[in-house]
Chain A
Amino acid sequence: QKEVEQNSGPLSVPEGAIASLNCTYSDRVSQSFFWYRQYSGKSPELIMSIYSNGDKEDGRFTAQLNKASQYVSLLIRDSQPSDSATYLCAVNLAGTALIFGKGTTLSVSS
């Protein structure tokens, strides 16, 4: 049974701080990794994808992948109150289908 694990939180950070979100996955052959952001009452929005070991940066977001440790993380720099949401880690299941973690709730206080 393939699994994706995330700390449910809530993770609370002050405005301007770095938020660090973590995710582990069980299937060693997984090749594609994604971070989605979901605001309350809305659908998930893709914010980052990463396919190879190392870091990938996009604006204030950095995704980090370590396949040997089966670990993927998301760093949010200069956190803003508008970043307050649930962050979902997803790993490819088969085809383009994804298996999701249950999400980490991030709260950024001003």
Chain B
Amino acid sequence: KAGVTQTPRYLIKTRGQQVTLSCSPISGHRSVSWYQQTPGQGLQFLFEYFSETQRNKGNFPGRFSGRQFSNSRSEMNVSTLELGDSALYLCASSLNEQYFGPGTRLTVT
């Protein structure tokens, strides 16, 4: 069974721009969660989607948003990028246990 895929793998953006990241879950998984990982803060939960509905949300500003499509694929969007948004963004899909994709490394300059 194919694992979680994320695109793009690497991204460089400028402050003030916006970015959209994509995640395709493991076949049959309907839950997709997004996390931000930085050296200082570790892995922090952004939001979780299940059957196209946001089920849980972490403590991030409204610049961070997401959505899920009927095929369970998910996107997250960050608007008005700040330098502090530079991080590894990880997507995880699950039935009960979460399995992570390879991540998207975002660098904001």
Contact = CB atoms under 8 A, between A and B. Distances in A.
Given A97-B56, A99-B45, A100-B42, A45 B97 contact: no
Chain B at the A interface: SS class: strand
Contact of B42 (A49, A93, A103): A103
Interface residues of B, number: 23
Contact of A100 (B43, B55, B97, B103): B43
A98 interface: yes
Given A43-B90, A44-B90, A97 B101 contact: no
A33 to B, nearest CB: 11
Contact of A96 (B48, B58, B90, B103): B48
A87 interface: no
Interface residues of A, number: 22
Interface string B21-46: 00000000001010100000011110
Nearest to B6: A43
Interface of B: 31, 33, 35, 42-45, 48, 50, 55-56, 58, 88, 90, 94, 96-103
Interface of A: 32, 34, 36, 42-46, 49, 88, 90, 93-103
17 contacts: A32-B96, A43-B88, A43-B103, A44-B90, A44-B100, A46-B98, A46-B99, A49-B97, A88-B43, A94-B48, A94-B55, A94-B56, A95-B56, A97-B48, A100-B35, A100-B42, A101-B42
